[in-house]
């Protein structure tokens, strides 16, 4: 049998279509962290999100590169994760090991190449993932390259089940 897929499931609250791109842009790029409350409520309302949160051992936000974090002032995935499951959220277990160019405009293969080795599990804490159920939180899933790359690092550390929970997902190209 081959390796398990990076993600066991991906749950999205909405399509990345009007009015969500503007709302998400305000949240992410205009420093309006207050959007995290209502947006996480929308995410929690998706079927299977509540059981995924209840049954997981830890909730991990997608980490940001330090330069991007300084520029934005906050990590939107962390803000969402803290509202989805405050007691289970861990912002220091999954690390962004290097900054990568922006993914916008890149094809899926280019995104995957761009992200190779961009995520790692905190080495001194990797054993905490052995056999565990993880929920990985992000705001937008485009091609899935970022989530797949992060999930691959979690699998390498022994995570048994990984569910991604995202606010919005772009439609598959026709």
- Residue 45 tokens, joined: 């309302």
CB 78 within 8 Å of CB 61: yes
Which class is 9-99+108-169 in CATH?
alpha beta
Q: In the chain, what are the domain boundaries?
A: 9-99+108-169
**pTM of the entire predicted model:** 0.92
Instruction: Give per-residue pLDDT as tens, 23-38.
Output: 999 999 998 999 999 9
Instruction: Give per-residue pLDDT as tens, 56-97.
Output: 999 999 999 998 899 999 999 999 999 999 999 999 999 999
CB 103 within 8 Å of CB 80: no
Range list of β-strands (E), the chain: 9-15, 58-61, 94-96, 119-121, 133-141, 161-169
Query: How many Cα atoms within 13 Å fall on the side-chain side of residue 24?
Result: 23
CB 15 within 8 Å of CB 169: yes
Q: What local confidence, expressed as pLDDT, does residue 112 receive?
A: 73
What distances in angstroms separate CA 88 from CA 5, 37, 84, 100, 155, one per listed residue?
24, 17, 9, 28, 19
- Residue 113 tokens, joined: 């190449």
């Amino acid at each position: 049998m081959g390796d398990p897929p990076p993600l066991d499931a991906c749950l999205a609250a909405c399509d990345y279509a009007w009015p969500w791109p503007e709302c998400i842009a305000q949240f992410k790029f205009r420093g309006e962290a207050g959007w995290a409350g209502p947006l996480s409520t929308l995410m929690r309302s998706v079927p299977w999100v509540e059981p995924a949160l209840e049954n997981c051992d830890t909730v991990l936000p997608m980490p940001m590169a330090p330069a991007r974090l300084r520029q934005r002032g906050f990590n939107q995935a962390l803000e969402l994760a803290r509202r989805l499951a405050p007691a289970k959220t861990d912002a220091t277990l999954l690390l962004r090991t290097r900054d990568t160019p922006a993914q916008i405009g890149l094809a899926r293969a280019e995104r995957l190449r761009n992200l190779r080795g961009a995520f790692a599990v905190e080495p001194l804490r990797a054993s905490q993932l052995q056999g565990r159920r993880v929920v990985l939180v992000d705001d937008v899933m485009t091609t899935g390259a970022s989530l797949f790359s992060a999930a691959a690092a979690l699998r390498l550390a022994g995570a048994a089940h990984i569910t991604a929970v995202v606010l919005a997902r772009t439609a598959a190209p026709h």
